[in-house]
Amino acid sequence: MKKLIFIVLFTCSYYSYSEVNIKVYNNYLIYSYPELSPHSTTIKRQEISSTIPFNLPFTKVAGKNTIIECQKNGFITFINKKNLGLWLIDYEKKFRLISNSFVNSSSEAKSTQISKYDITFNENNDIQKESLSKNDFFDINTNYIYDEKKRLINFLEKVNAFFVMNKIDYTNQNLAKLIKSENVEDPELFSSDETSNEIIEYIYDDENRIIQTKQSMYLAETKNRINMDCFFINHNKYGDWTKGYCSANKKNLGDFKREIEYW
């Protein structure tokens, strides 16, 4: 009887822990990048610095510095991206703030613009929708869709009359591919490898640690597709990478490092 009780308790604990991890992973898919999500334990703060040129639009770790801070349950509450502004996320008050600073090229005067997004949760307490509030120029709404395992599998962003569609594929419990299509006027035209603007494939080792991404981006102005590989190395005892580099056409584009503080 004691053995039976132990098995039941262990099983319940396992599924509860798994569900928490799925929610954290979903959170990084929505607000950051899966490459930066924790492997085995929640992250308090991480800082990513890179020598990769910032003008590579599809380099997810590009830029001088990116700082991400999380609460104890692993959810992101603060993001500071140099050249891209500050993000503040409050789950209790159900909003996300984005603060961007601009410099007037003629007067050199600096101004700050703050945008507020209202967050709606579904019955499972997952983010279901985000809506830009009180804006005279843009009408932005994003809807998030989950599967029966509560994994994020699709999100559709509507910006005025245009759509940005993201389709997420999994292999077992690992994210396998993310397909993104921008400026699609008909949301019924689902993302595919042939019509997408961006495709990212994720590769893992035998311990399910991310070790590589294969990124492909279609440039409409040149009608060419750019391919790039990023490699993640020097994993710590928690399974999180701390260094990496990217290459395109066998040419090294630069490297990056990641400093992590845990709860």
Q: What is the pLDDT of residue 118?
A: 96
Q: What is the pLDDT of residue 10?
A: 34
Q: Which of 45-54, 68-77, 142-151, 250-259 has the lowest mean pLDDT?
A: 45-54
Q: What is the pLDDT of residue 51?
A: 86
Q: What is the pLDDT of residue 2?
A: 38
The arithmetic mean of pLDDT across residues 213-219, rounded, is 85
Dihedral-angle region of residue 175 (phi above 0 means left; psi in -120 to 50 means alpha; beta otherwise): beta
Listed in sequence order, the residues at least 6 apart from 155 whose beta carbon sits closer than 8 Å to its beta carbon are 30, 142, 143, 144, 145, 165, 166
Most confidently predicted of 70-84, 108-122, 219-233? 70-84
Q: What is the pLDDT of residue 207?
A: 93
pLDDT band, residue 59 (cuts 50/70/90)? low
57 or 69: which leads in pLDDT: 69
pLDDT band, residue 107 (cuts 50/70/90)? low
pTM of the model: 0.84
Q: Are 146 and 164 in contact (CB under 8 A)?
A: no
DSSP code, position 246: E
CATH class name, domain 2-262 = mainly beta
* Cα distance between residue 129 and residue 214, in whole Å: 29
Percentage above 70 pLDDT, the chain: 76
Q: What is the pLDDT of residue 104?
A: 58
The arithmetic mean of pLDDT across residues 69-74, rounded, is 96
CA-closest candidate to residue 199, choices 180, 183, 223: 180
**pLDDT above 70 for 195:** no
Most confidently predicted of 55-69, 91-105, 247-261? 247-261
DSSP code, position 151: -
pLDDT in tens, 140-177: 999 999 999 999 999 999 988 788 889 999 998 899 99
> SS3 for 56?
coil
DSSP code, position 166: E
Q: What is the pLDDT of residue 186?
A: 61
